[in-house]
Amino acid sequence: MAALLTSARYTPLAKSHNNAIRDLLSRHIKLKQHSRNGLPFNESVSQEVTTSYAEIGAPESPDFVVDPDLFRQDMLPSILFDFDNFNPPAFARPHVQSPSDHILPRFSTRLPILDDANYEVKPCDEPSGMFKDAVGVIPWAFSDSVYEGFCLEVESFSAVLPTDWELPSRNSLSRNLESYFRCVQESLPFIHSATFSVAKTDVELLLAAAALGALNRFENHCSYILYFMSKAILAEKMRFQDFDSLDQSVAGRRNGIGKIQTLNLLVSYASWAGKDVLQDGLALATQLSTLVRRHGLSEDEYTSSFGIQIPDNESRDQLWCKWVAAEERRRTLLCAYVLLSLQNIAYNTPPQLLNEEIATLLPSCVDSWKKTTAEALHHPALHHRQYYFKEALSLLSRGIVVPVSSFANYVLILGLLQQIILAHSEARGSSIPHGTLEKFEHALRTWQLSWECTYEATLDPLSEKGPLGLNATALLRLAYIRLNSNMGSWKALSSRDPGDLGIEKMSLERTPQVDRAVLHAAHALSIPVRLGIGLVTHTRLSFRSIEHSLSSLECVWLLKGWLDMISSVVDQCGLEGLRNTERRLLDIITGVIGETSFAETLNTPQDESSRYHRMAIITVQLWAQIFQGVHVLEIDKFIGSGLQLLADTI
């Protein structure tokens, strides 16, 4: 992806359905074939970014609306914002292969037969070597003995289980665990699937993962039962465990990580569930933060990074097992930080884990994490230094781009968001000081350059690179919006009353900082419009995540508030009262609306002030349409209902 675009022109979407699908598929194929070249990596290379946020210049062309190659465009195009020339460092990324088939194998290629004895297996029909022992390879596979042991252990907790509990069948349990690893794990990858063993995993963790898997299969009743079973068993185990005197042995620490992983899954489930379960999510989050602190948020002898030289008394496999344990622990703790941060953003709860407390290294790259053997130790990324969370956050604030993984970048944008939220809290209702505002914008711009250097840097919802990069961009939009408006949806999201989702009167300033936030909000709307709102509402795409839901909701409010403000300015001062920047943004939003079913309404004769007020209403109606359809998360159903109610009443 080019660091900055130098030009952009509007290309209308295909008019017919068939042409639109062909265009979508051809762009997807081009994106899959696109590869970025970089210079040889030098771990000592880091570049200080000196940015000057200048006023937007005059448009190069009157037909500019959005970049035709929208999914690969820079998130803040230089044609729109005349930044000083950036020279971002070209961090070379080693070739990253797609996830190995032997981790998540496909369905069998053999058709069913009644008598295997009379069936001669040809050499081409034999499974590859990695599939011969399927139970040992597939993380969700249960042998007869393992499933029997699982049932016996669950039944031993029958006294504390819900009255309607029932043991999931072996196939049901495997199916839902498969759904977890295929659909959920990629969004928060903290369980190492290659070394995961159902036989060695606590039953409460298996139940929690299966609950999330069932949820993603739309088996809501089953997922609720599994969730409450997992929660009850974990509570019973923790009741008999004294966490004030945690066992500091390797086995004891591993057991503690298992409990944190289970809580991660339960918090992830309950935080975005219905109102009756939401309070569970908030209470479990408190338990999670307490357990994480007691376990320790720093690197130590057990988890610290080690050199690539293999000790004489240790085999390469033993060293790899140590690396996996250290990396899994690190990711587990950072996922706890992620989940608590998302709760803070959504519900305005106090940050339960502060940035200053996070003393772990950042996660490694996805390629080494997904390796299934000790070959991971040969990955070039493991031969370079790793950055600590606080260290990397400090470098971003100083304008220095550092090479980190996609997951690390995702965690870092949450760190910047926490700083912004705390800055608003310290301002006590006043605006953030201008100097502080500029520092945050500089840090966000530097983060973007770091994001562009990662493997998962894509704006394409159809990309196979995984959801972390795309989800991180949703948090970047949220950071720009929170930085300049300090509005939040916590009251409505906490009450789960659609009537509370009304848009309050916003107090926006006409500044370049607000302009950038509006640009990000308009870009968020353009993605589902470009794909086709009908397709989005009937298809599960990677940007239908909690990060995008929270970000989109605040994009609705920002666009509505900003367009109403522009309408008032034009009503009082005419079009001459608008800045060039604002005119350009209006062109962008008009172009996005022009590709929807509301295009004709913009041609209705009316004065410009009324036209912009009408556009404000249309943006709400568009987002209401986007949030219709089938959703995995209950919170998305609530947002959809609330936006539809709002669209019907304004």
- For residues 65 and 408, the answer to whether their CB atoms sit within 8 Å is no
Q: In one letter, which amino acid is 129?
A: G
Q: Residue 588 class from Cβ within 10 Å (0-12 exposed, 13-18 middle, 19+ buried)?
A: buried
| Residue with tokens 């004030």, as numbered in its chain | 244
> Encoding tokens for residue 252?
């004891």
603 or 135: which leads in pLDDT: 603
Q: What φ, ψ does residue 100 adopt, rounded to 5°?
A: -60, 140
pLDDT at 501 over 90: no
The whole-angstrom separation of Cα 631 and Cα 222 is 16
pLDDT at 384 over 90: no
pLDDT at 64 over 90: no
Q: Which of 236-240, 264-268, 427-431, 545-549 has the lowest mean pLDDT?
A: 427-431
Per residue, what are the HEC states of 578-606? Answer: CCHHHHHHHHHHHHHHCCCCCHHHHHCCC
120 or 343: which leads in pLDDT: 343
Q: In one letter, which amino acid is 594?
A: G
C-alpha closest to that of 5 among 53, 49, 68, 93? 68
Rounded to 5°, the CA angle 286-217-621 comes to 80
The whole-angstrom separation of Cα 608 and Cα 245 is 69
pLDDT at 482 over 60: yes
What are residue 359's DSSP bridge partners?
A: 298
Q: Which of 32-36, 174-178, 198-202, 593-597 has the lowest mean pLDDT?
A: 32-36
- Number of residues written out for the chain: 650
Q: Report how far apart the first and last C-alpha atoms of the chain are (Å, whole number).
A: 40
Q: Dihedral of CA 27/30/32/36: which sign?
A: negative
pLDDT at 429 over 50: yes
537: Cβ–Cβ under 8 A, 6 or more apart, which residues?
Answer: 625, 626, 628, 629
pLDDT in tens, 252-262: 556 689 999 99
CA distances to 295, 312, 580, 582, 584 from 58, in Å: 56, 66, 7, 11, 9
Q: Across the chain, what does the average pLDDT equal?
A: 78
- For residues 328 and 296, the answer to whether their CB atoms sit within 8 Å is no
pLDDT in tens, 505-532: 677 889 999 999 999 999 999 999 999 9
The whole-angstrom separation of Cα 620 and Cα 618 is 5
Q: Residue 357 class from Cβ within 10 Å (0-12 exposed, 13-18 middle, 19+ buried)?
A: middle
C-alpha closest to that of 482 among 534, 535, 444, 536? 444
CB atoms within 10 A of CB 496: 19
pLDDT in tens, 439-449: 999 999 999 99
pLDDT at 623 over 50: yes
> Encoding tokens for residue 153?
């252990």
Average pLDDT, stretch 57-73?
Answer: 37
Q: Dihedral of CA 184/186/192/193: which sign?
A: positive
The whole-angstrom separation of Cα 163 and Cα 161 is 6
Q: What is the pLDDT of residue 89?
A: 40
- For residues 481 and 521, the answer to whether their CB atoms sit within 8 Å is yes
> Encoding tokens for residue 198?
């159902």
C-alpha closest to that of 503 among 621, 608, 390, 337? 621
The whole-angstrom separation of Cα 526 and Cα 8 is 15
| Residue with tokens 């409505």, as numbered in its chain | 492
DSSP 177-235: HHHIIIIITTTS--S-TTT--GGGS-HHHHHHHHHHHHHHTT-HHHHHHHHHHHHHHHH
pLDDT in tens, 96-153: 333 333 333 344 445 555 554 444 444 333 333 332 333 345 889 999 999 999 999 9
Reduced to 3 states (helix: H, G, I; strand: E, B; else coil), residue 368 is: helix
Q: Which of 13-22, 276-285, 439-448 has the lowest mean pLDDT?
A: 13-22
The whole-angstrom separation of Cα 207 and Cα 74 is 42
pLDDT at 34 over 50: no
Q: Where are the domains of the chain?
A: 47-87+390-649, 133-361
pLDDT at 191 over 90: yes
Average pLDDT, stretch 193-213?
Answer: 95
Average pLDDT, stretch 545-549?
Answer: 94
Reduced to 3 states (helix: H, G, I; strand: E, B; else coil), residue 396 is: helix
pLDDT at 90 over 90: no
